Structure 1
């Protein structure tokens, strides 16, 4: 079982959280100006690295607030947790 440290509530079991996808994906300024291909890329194309990856999570059974986490996709180790709007911390030690 994964232990996730909510920046507001502290460490909690993973069953209290829901995954929200890749972090730091900006919403298009004018979505109506996008072609179907550009809109499709925004909606469906995301990075899928092996190693450290910034993700969005929501503490759905707790404070209900969104936050970001840097998680190693190979080991599931969470290297950092930070609030929405904060700069992504520099972390090392991901999978090779």
Structure 2
């Protein structure tokens, strides 16, 4: 699988570390209830198909990316700097 880093260009996925669902960008407010925090920390979908994931470009520029990809075909549709993604 190849990921195109917005800073470094196309790279092999071994340069990146998968960090989970991009849902992590939607963190609850500090004063949110326990149910909201429990859901955020422990409940994740495991879809077969299109996903939005967080990846860290460890062997490159050190950027956090939101990668849109298909978990069945391994096709990467887009990679965007996480700081530019709307939550």
More helix, by proportion: 2
Alpha-carbon shift at residue 83 of structure 1 (Å): 1.7
Higher relative contact order (CA 8 A, sep 6+): 2
Question: What RMSD over aligned residues (CA atoms) do the two structures have, in Å?
Answer: 1.9
Deviation at 1:87, TM superposition (A): 4.6
Counterpart CA distance in 2 for 1:6 and 1:75 is 20
Structure 1 segments, 4+ long, off by >4 Å, are none
**Structure 1 unaligned spans of 5+:** 89-96
- 2:48 alignment counterpart: 50
- The reply on whether 1:40 has 2:38 as its aligned counterpart is yes
Query: 1:9-54 CA distances to partner (integer Å, 9 max, x unpaired)?
Result: 01111111001111143111125x532x443321121222111111
Secondary structure at the aligned position of 2:84 is classed as coil
Give the secondary-structure state (helix, strand or coil) at the position aligned to 1:69: strand
The unaligned stretches of length 5 or more in structure 2 are none
Tell me the equivalent position of 1:60. 58
Partner of residue 4, structure 2: 5
How many residues are matched?
85
Q: Give the structure with higher Rg (CA).
A: 1
TM-score (norm 1): 0.76
